[in-house]
Copies of this chain bind each other. A is one copy, B any other.
Amino acid sequence: MQTAGIAINEDNSHFFGSRPPEAMTEAGLRELIDHYAGPLTREVLLNPNAMRASYAARTWEPIWEGIEFREDGTACHRGMELKPRGARWPRNAQLLHERGLNPYAVWLAYAREKGLGAWLTMRMNDIHSVDEPNNFMHSAFWREHPEFRRVPHRFARWQDAALDYGRPEVRERSLAQARELLETFDLDGLELDWMRFGYHFRPGHEAEGRELLTEFVGQVRALAQQAAARLGHPVKLGVRVPARPETAAELGMDAVVWAQAGLVDMVVPTAFWATTDYTMPIRPWKQLLPASVTLAAGLELNSRAYPAAPPLRNTAEMVFGYAANYLWQGADRIYLFNHMDSETAVATETDRLRILNLAGDAAAIQQQVRRHVVTYTDTVQDGREVGYALPVSLGTNQFREMRIPVGYAPQGAVQAILGLPKDAAETTAFEVRVNGVPCPAAAAPELAVAENVVRLLAFTVPDGAVGDGECVVEVRNPGNPAQIVWAEVLVMPKA
């Protein structure tokens, strides 16, 4: 089987916010691409926009517009002071412009030169910080048209203030922006990132919305074909959408229909942000999409056991766990979002390089320690309730099962790991079976876990108990009532 490979997303602020002004040069720009070019890297996807663009765009305001930059490095927008890092981003983007450099043009050209797929990825409905009306990130269009918000009658969460793609004004503006990207740059592909932020219609209006969005994607497809004719090489179209096919469709993003109609070349089902999704149904996606469409499984940077749990930043071993599951199910790519080269990045540079060199290679991953952690699905249709495997509260003599996908059958030692919260009794002793096989207690290994986990219990899973696919961890509590706030299956290949 062909080695799957990796796709990497670089967001609209990271480079500009993480580098000093001296790095705002062609060499400084190229260095970013060098950091992402590994033996498995297939595509680099560069994001030029949220509500504004990080270059001197026509159809978006440039990110620096209307910001007063002061001598002392502080800055102000519509009376609102920027945070220090917030100021660095627009100022550095502006610096590049002043120096005559369009960072996206430089990046795309250099990525193409290095043989990488050079993509732009356009955020279709970004709503970062919409609780701050004067934040510099916002477009005048969003600020001046509260009537275009998808939930005009309330503002309970950011997604209520996303733009309503049921409005022709919203679609037309967005289409003009996609046209600008496709007419301006020399690119191998354009991704429409519908997962920033995943909510594009008035709740309950998604069935009519998906007709509109399918038409919209078709229009962008036509523009991409025009770009291909202009450039003399293919210009592909991709989409990022919610983790589950029916969630995507019921939120108006009909990715299966788009793929079956030949409108898109790459589909990226993905978690949104709060956590990477351990149950993302890649196999059903693969069954739904034409074979010619690249199915890229999207990771986020953090893992959370449940919505109220604190996050744990992914380690290489956790990424290998997710990747083993997704690749076994048939993913053509591991798509890394927010796994950048600094700041918004995995914990160490060593981890970053291990991921870059291994995470898209099913054979290589099976040689690595991997952690299959329990998380949840963080993007859900308005008004649909979902379940959470954790936390588990077990009364005396109660039991609970947890289904944990592992993908490829473990070769080597396997442990089931359970995490207890702060107030757990010292005497907590569970009886654990995996796939029905009793697992004796073992010394707990050292593992990075979320900060609400105070103690780990480990159980040795006998050889051969876990095969391909998913395993079921059964925990029985013979003692006093106890709570479990973390769970995972740890796979350690033989040396």
Interfacial residues, chain A to chain B (CB-CB below 8 A): 151-154, 156, 202-208, 245-246, 249-250, 256-257, 260, 279, 281, 283-284, 287-288, 381-389, 399, 401-404, 433-436, 466-474
Contacts and interface: CB of A to CB of B under 8 A. Distances in A.
Nearest to A260: B287
Contacts of A467: 204-205, 207-208
A203 B382 contact: no
Nearest to A249: B283
Give 8 nearest A-B pairs by CB, closest first: A207-B469, A385-B387, A383-B403, A204-B435, A383-B401, A204-B472, A203-B472, A386-B387
B388 A403 contact: no
A466 B433 CA distance: 49
B383 A287 contact: no
Nearest to A381: B403
Given A154-B399, A382-B401, 8 more contacts: A203-B435, A203-B474, A205-B467, A208-B467, A260-B287, A279-B384, A287-B288, A383-B473
A280 to B, nearest CB: 10
A202 B436 contact: yes
Contacts of A469: 206-208, 250
Contacts of A404: 383
A14 B470 CA distance: 39
A470 B284 contact: no
B204 A436 contact: yes
Contacts of A245: 284, 287
B381 A385 contact: no
A383 B399 contact: no
A154 B383 CA distance: 37
A242 to B, nearest CB: 13
B381 A384 contact: no
Nearest to A282: B246
A404 B384 CA distance: 9
A438 to B, nearest CB: 8
Contacts of A434: 204
A17 B310 CA distance: 57
30 contacts: A151-B436, A152-B436, A153-B436, A202-B435, A202-B436, A203-B401, A203-B403, A204-B403, A204-B435, A204-B436, A206-B469, A207-B469, A207-B470, A208-B467, A208-B469, A245-B284, A245-B287, A249-B283, A257-B287, A287-B288, A381-B403, A382-B401, A383-B404, A383-B472, A383-B474, A384-B387, A384-B389, A384-B403, A385-B387, A385-B389
A319 B156 CA distance: 36
Contacts of A284: 245-246, 249, 256, 284, 288
A205 B435 contact: yes
Contacts of A207: 467-470
A279 B386 CA distance: 12
Contacts of A203: 401, 403, 435-436, 472, 474
Nearest to A208: B467
A471 B207 CA distance: 9
Contacts of A388: 385
Looking at A152, A279, A470, the one whose CB has the most chain B CB atoms below 10 A away is A470
Contacts of A288: 284, 287-288
A327 to B, nearest CB: 14
Given A249-B284, A433-B153, A472 B382 contact: yes
B385 A468 contact: no
Contact of A246 (B281, B382, B433, B468): B281
Contacts of A385: 387-389
Contacts of A206: 469-470
Nearest to A467: B208
A83 B473 CA distance: 40
A374 to B, nearest CB: 10
Contact of A383 (B151, B246, B402): B402
Nearest to A252: B469
A390 to B, nearest CB: 9
Contacts of A283: 246, 249
Contacts of A470: 204, 206-207, 250, 381
Contacts of A403: 203-204, 250, 381-384
A383 B205 CA distance: 34
A54 B185 CA distance: 72
Nearest to A209: B469
Contacts of A381: 403, 470
A389 B202 CA distance: 20
